[in-house]
Chain A
Amino acid sequence: MFRQVKRKTAGRRNFEDVSSSSSGDKKGGADLISQLNNIYQSRLTFYDIPPLEEITLEEFENWSIDRLKLLIEIESYGARSKSIKDIEVALRPLLLKYLPMNGNSSDGKINPTLYQERKKDHYSHFILRLVFCRSEELRKKFIKNEGILFRIRYNLLTPKEQEDFLMSNSHRLHWKFISQEEKLANFDQLYNASNLIIKNHLLQEGIGSEITNEQVKQHIKFKENFIKLPFEKVTNLINSRSIFLKGGYAYIPTSLQLNLIVTEFQDNLNTILLRTFQTLPRLEEDDRILPLLNNLGLNFSNIQYDTNNFGSDDTNDINAQSIQTPEILQHYPLCARILQKQLSFNSHLKYGGRQQLGLFLKGIGLNVDEALKFWSQQFLKKINQEKFNKEYKYNIRHNYGLEGARINYKPWDCATILAKAKPSKDEYHGCPYRDLSVNNLISNLNELGIEDQHQINEIMDDVDKRDYSIACTRVFELTHQKELKASSGAVAESMHINHPNLYFDRSRQLERSMEKKKEISV
């Protein structure tokens, strides 16, 4: 595809050549074009065939940015640990805005508008593959978010379209729908094996808060479609005995089918991204696409805390002493503040707290020597150096990748923190917006200078809705009002906080840009 653009500048147009170089396929270009028309038949696709038509640089950029915006939103909702259902509702208007995908018109024809929509989807997906294939972390994000997008879109299909989609992909899915007769003949077994997952699925669909067993039976009898496929495909459902097996086939209710398709889609994407990564060097030939791609990549890492940059040289003022000064402490998010407070108070933290705070400090640039100094100082009020060395030194060095498996551990992001076990008595890790009692949280907010009742109510509303990272973002905005106003435009305005270190970095960044302004004005 990128070669194609280059050729265009060179004034050469040769479809035969393009197709053989970009896909390695020996078939003629015309064949592929007709295949393309075929894949545009459906508004959902596994993206098997790379785009071959020429597009303008402008389209290249705009289309990919639009898709990127969508993925960023998905990532952001995901970080706020919303359910798929919630993401779906929230995303629908954005889908219409950035990547509308309308169903075929009633005569089944693909009119030019539809064709253009699908083309945009197709191309933008392939462009972003180039952006996201470059590191394990980017690949993971891309696969996750494209998977969610795929799932949402599948749910938007009509039942007929879903069936057609499955039919046209049957070669990869190895499954077939069972007949009504077969379903009824095995009705009891199907119910006994899968009633729980079907029930859960119905609950998730929001059909009601209570579903009786009789309702589940009726649903299976009249609505649920089952597919059967070789049991090797669904090992994760076999071991829990949550599906019916017969004669070497697993019987999967429709509610689980989507999981299978999405898994297939994601597995497929993973292989392809790796392969794309291997052929990426060829791209370096093009001096116009590369900056564009780099730029797109940056856009995405903006919304996630780039954990690869910690310890860079502009953070050399971080050491065991400085992190106990108000100048540095003021940039801490509430979770880290509380951990530090409890550490100073008790001269000790339990494992979860040590991990969360330790890795956060690593993230703000505290190196391993300073970390050992810091922790031993904090603990020495209670234990001697020998005990510290024996019991805690290894653990700290382990976090820095100097012991054991030598993994260079990264600071926890909000999703990780929220996924860990809640703190029990005498534990202070976790997310304060989730784990603190209302009164305790309010007094902590007061300490941060948030005393306006209206503002506190807003934060509490977020907490009630379990939007903890939104609450945290709100606190950031409230505590940095002055800086944000002063630097309007310099920093992306309402950036969502999904990582404690992002909170810290943004806070320092704002402070620095303020200082710079002062210097200039002086």
Chain B
Amino acid sequence: MTQDIEPPRPQVVLNTFDTQSQTPAQKWKPSSADMQHYYERLLPFRYIFQWLSHSPKATKDFTMREFAYEHRSGAYQRYNSYESQEDFKKSVVSANPTRFEVGAVYTVNPKERRNLPKNALKPISKELVFDIDLTDYDDIRTCCQGTDICMKCWKFIRVGSKIIESALKEDFGFKHLVWVFSGRRGAHCWISDARARNLDEGTRKAIVEYMDVLSSMQGKFKKLKKPYHPHVERSFNFLKEEFIDIVLQDQEPWLTSASTPSDAKAWTQIDELLSFIPEKSLQSELRNKWKDQKSLSTSKSKWEDINDVAKRVLKSQLQVTLLNEAKKDIIIYYMYPRLDVEVSRQVIHLLKSPFCIHPGTGNVCVPFDPTRNISNNPEDDDYGFNPTTSPNLKQIQDELESWERSKSKDSDEPQDESKRLADYDKTSLKPYVDHFAKFVNDLIKDELRAKREREDDSLDF
């Protein structure tokens, strides 16, 4: 099996890869033929089609939907639309883009916009989407920078998705949401409830701002309103459990030693930390203590220092209360998800479709479950979705090949069973397709039920 001799792919793929500094030979990038093969045989068009059509059949939600291609040449082609699942697949295969993106449903068929007056093309609906990207965590990440990720910093995404998901479900009452790995260093959340699809931009903006707790912390006082709003309180409860693990141990943002230069990132981060401390005397006391430290001083010890020094410095109960509140704010400041507001606000914003291949890494943009590991790899069961071992095009091509090789070896087996098996089911893509299929099925069931109810209602008249 090729899996056994799997190259150390994740490490290679996930190393520095930004468009300026990369040396192309360094890593595997899917070729045009790889993509062609993937579109023809592996990409589960059926589920993407049903997901966007909200039905097993083609509806206006699908036929009036904009798709955009990013071509190998770098050209970006907007306003494609398709009549059916077959047309969808045929067009993508023949265009063979490096990736395709999903846009809004319009009043008219986007493909035909040239034959129509300019203002006829109006966006009507689109999934509500959220985008978290690890590059936005660069100021607090110490493990990686830029486009790199590792299992340490992915934990930020993990806890972030938990926060966003619980707010969307519990506060806004959405049910049908799916998380998709963006292929390199982030995740997208698609919310497909009819109510979410029909939100206007003002409401989308309000929802993102509701979620965007960090921007309420900007400004002079760097404080969140107390008592915390229920959403903030719930988020804090998620975060406090992981703070020691993710920030104090994994990231070590405040790690210093006597040789750490005073302009190092760690000191900037320490100043950042101190700026939260409400009492000026405590601030300077802590700063002096840490500056004078000769040995290695970890983030964990600094975090504990705050309480130790406070016991000496703070006089009143009120000061203690304020400090405790500030410490809660610090935890939120360091770990709360950083959101891309524009992606969520604009109805016409395009976003890479699930199951696309990230052109730079070859990773499949697989839908995943942020709460549990679905990869069938028991090593990740404690971790959850692991982006460093998630399916990669090269890997699944090899898997498909070896599956076929093993089939042809014992070709005396009955053929019809293998015929029925979809190609992606022969690879490690299977659990992710199943996860997505279940999501799509639940969505369609709900849509059909709502449609039936509407029809019943109209019959009453």
Residues of A at the B interface (CB closer than 8 Å) are 188-189, 191-193, 195-196, 231-232, 235-236, 238-242, 244-249
Chain A residues with CB under 8 A of B230: 188-189, 192-193, 244-245
Q: How far is the CB of B273 from chain A (nearest CB, A)?
A: 25
Given A232-B199, A235-B202, A239-B209, A245:B227 Cβ within 8 A: no
Query: Which residue of A is nearest B229, CB measured?
Result: A241
- Minimum Cβ distance to chain B for residue A245 (Å): 4
Q: Which residues in A have their C-beta under 8 angstroms from that of B229?
A: 192-193, 241-242
A193 to chain B, nearest CB (A): 5
B210 CB contacts on chain A under 8 angstroms = 238-239, 241, 245
- Shortest CB-to-CB span from B117 to chain A, Å, is 24
**Which chain B residues border A242 with CB–CB below 8 Å?**
229
A387 to B203, CA, bound (A): 47
Do the beta carbons of B232 and A241 come within 8 Å of each other? yes
Kindly provide the distance from the CB of B97 to the nearest chain A CB, expressed in whole angstroms: 36
27 inter-chain pairs at a CB distance below 8 angstroms, sorted by A residue, are A188-B230, A189-B230, A192-B227, A192-B233, A193-B229, A196-B225, A231-B172, A231-B203, A232-B199, A235-B203, A235-B205, A235-B206, A238-B203, A238-B207, A239-B206, A239-B209, A239-B210, A241-B216, A241-B225, A241-B229, A241-B231, A245-B172, A246-B173, A247-B171, A248-B172, A248-B174, A249-B173
Query: B225 — which chain A residues lie within 8 A by C-beta?
Result: 196, 241
Task: Give the CA-CA distance A260 to B173 in the complex, in Å.
Answer: 22
Min C-beta distance of B192 to chain A, whole Å: 15
Q: Is A236 in contact with B228, judged by CB distance below 8 angstroms? A: no
The 7 A-B pairs at the shortest CB distance, nearest first, are namely A248-B173, A239-B209, A235-B206, A245-B171, A189-B230, A239-B206, A247-B173
- Closest chain-B Cβ to A312's Cβ sits at a distance in Å of 39
With A192-B233, A193-B229 known as contacts, the answer to whether A247 contacts B170 (CB < 8 A) is: yes
Contact (Cβ within 8 A) A232 B231: no
Chain B residue numbers with a CB within 8 Å of A247 are: 170-171, 173
* Interface residues as binary, B182-221 with A (CB distance below 8 Å gives 1, 0 otherwise): 0000000000000100010011011101100100100000
**From A191, A196, A236, A246, contact of B206 by CB (8 A):** A236
**Chain B residues with CB under 8 A of A232:** 199, 203
Nearest chain A CB to B208 CB, angstrom units? 8
> B204: nearest residue on chain A (CB-CB)?
A235
B106 CB, nearest partner CB in chain A, Å: 21
List the B side residues contacting A240 at CB < 8 Å. Answer: 209
- Chain A's closest residue to B175 (CB) is A248
A195 vs B227: C-alpha distance in the bound complex, in angstroms? 9
Closest Cβ of chain B to A220, distance in Å, is: 13
Q: Within the assembled complex, what's the spacing in Å between the Cα atoms of A500 and B210?
A: 42
Residues of B within 8 A of A (CB): 170-174, 195, 199, 202-203, 205-207, 209-210, 213, 216, 225, 227-233
Query: Closest approach, in angstroms, between the C-beta of A235 and any C-beta of chain B?
Result: 4
Query: Which residues of the partner chain A approach B174 to less than 8 Å between Cβ atoms?
Result: 248
How far is it, in angstroms, between the C-alpha of A204 and the C-alpha of B230 when the chains are bound? 25
Instruction: Add 4 more A-B contacts to A188-B230, A235-B202 (CB < 8 A).
Output: A189-B230, A192-B230, A241-B225, A241-B231
When the two chains form their complex, are residues A238 and B170 in contact, meaning their CB atoms are under 8 A apart? Answer: no
In the complex formed, the residue of B with least CB distance to A186 is B230
Q: Which of B170, B199, B205 contacts A246 (CB 8 A)?
A: B170
Looking at the assembled complex, report how far the CB atom of A182 sits from the nearest CB atom of chain B, in whole angstroms. 15
Expressed in whole angstroms, the Cα–Cα distance for A246 and B231 within the complex equals 10
Q: How far is the CA of A422 from the CA of B232 in the complex (A)?
A: 36
Closest to B216 in A: A241
Closest partner residue, chain B, to A233 (CB atom): B203
Find chain B residues with CB under 8 A from A248 CB.
171-174, 195
Within 8 Å CB of A196, what residues of B? 225
Instruction: Please name the residue on chain A nearest to B199 by beta carbon.
Output: A232
- Nearest-Cβ distance from residue A180 to partner chain B, whole angstroms: 20
- How far does the alpha carbon of A231 sit from the alpha carbon of B193 in the complex, in Å? 15
Which A residues lie within 8 Å of B202 (CB)?
A: 235
Chain A nearest CB, measured from B37 CB (Å): 44
A193 and B227 alpha carbons, distance in the complex (Å): 8
**How near does chain B come to A241, taking the closest CB pair, in angstroms?**
4
Q: Which of B195, B206, B213, B216 contacts A238 (CB 8 A)?
A: B206
Closest chain A residue to B195, Cβ basis: A248
A180 to B406, CA, bound (A): 67
Q: How far is the CB of B423 from chain A (nearest CB, A)?
A: 40
| A284 nearest CB across to chain B (Å) | 33
What CA separation (Å) do A138 and B207 show in the bound complex? 35
Q: Report Cα–Cα, A239/B341, bound state, in Å.
A: 12
Interchain CB contact under 8 A, B209 and A192: no
B-side contacts of A239, CB under 8 Å: 205-206, 209-210
Q: How far is B225's CA from A239's CA once the two chains are assembled, in angstroms?
A: 14
> Chain A residue with minimal CB distance to B234?
A189
Q: Which residue of A lies closest to B209 (CB)?
A: A239
With both beta carbons as reference points, the residue of chain A lying nearest to B225 in the complex is identified as A196
C-alpha spacing A32/B199, complex, angstroms = 37
- The distance from the CB of A234 to the nearest CB of chain B, in whole angstroms, is 9
Residue ID in chain B nearest A192 by CB atoms: B227
A248 and chain B: residue at smallest CB distance: B173
Question: A239–B204 Cα gap in the complex (Å)?
Answer: 10
Contacts A246-B171, A248-B172 given; indicate if A192 touches B206 (C-beta within 8 A).
no
Neighbouring B residues of A231 by C-beta, 8 Å: 172, 203
What separation, in Å, do the CA atoms of A235 and B199 have in the docked complex?
11
Shortest beta-carbon distance from B128 to chain A in Å: 12
Q: How far is the CB of A228 from chain B (nearest CB, A)?
A: 11
Q: Which residues of B contact A244 (CB under 8 A)?
A: 230
> A187 → chain B, closest Cβ, in Å?
11
B residues near A195, Cβ cutoff 8 Å: 227
Is the beta-carbon distance between A245 and B203 smaller than 8 angstroms? no
Decide: A245 near B206, CB < 8 A? Known: A196-B225, A231-B172, A232-B199: no
B residues near A236, Cβ cutoff 8 Å: 206
Tell me which residues across on chain A come within 8 A of B173, comparing CB atoms: 246-249
Residue of B nearest to A196 (CB): B225
Chain B residues near A189: list those with CB within 8 A: 230
Known: A196-B225, A239-B205. A245 touches B231 (CB 8 A): yes
Return A192 CB to nearest CB of chain B, in Å.
4
B344 to chain A, nearest CB (A): 12
In the complex, A244 Cα to B230 Cα: how many Å? 7
CB-CB < 8 A to B216: which residues of A?
A: 241
Q: Which residues of A contact B233 (CB under 8 A)?
A: 192
Complex CA gap A232/B195 in Å reads 10
Q: Bound complex: CA of A240 vs CA of B230, how far in Å?
A: 13
Residue of B nearest to A238 (CB): B206
Please name all residues of chain B whose beta carbon is closer than 8 Å to the beta carbon of A238 when the two chains form the complex. Answer: 203, 206-207, 209-210
Q: Bound state CA distance, A240 and B227, in angstroms? A: 14
**A contact residues around B213 at 8 Å (CB):** 241
A220→B173 CA distance, assembly (Å): 25
The winner among A232, A241, A244, A249 for most chain B CB atoms within 10 A is A241
**Nearest chain-B residue to A244 (Cβ)?**
B230
**Alpha-carbon distance between A498 and B232 when the two chains are bound, in angstroms:** 45
User: Which residues of chain B are near A188, meaning CB under 8 Å?
Assistant: 230
Q: Which residue in chain A gives the minimum CB-CB distance to B232?
A: A241
Q: Collect the chain A residues with CB atoms within 8 Å of residue B232's CB.
A: 241
For B170, B199, B213, B225, the residue with the greatest tally of chain A CB atoms inside 10 Å of its CB is B225
Contacts of B171 in A (CB 8 A): 245-248
A48 nearest CB across to chain B (Å): 23
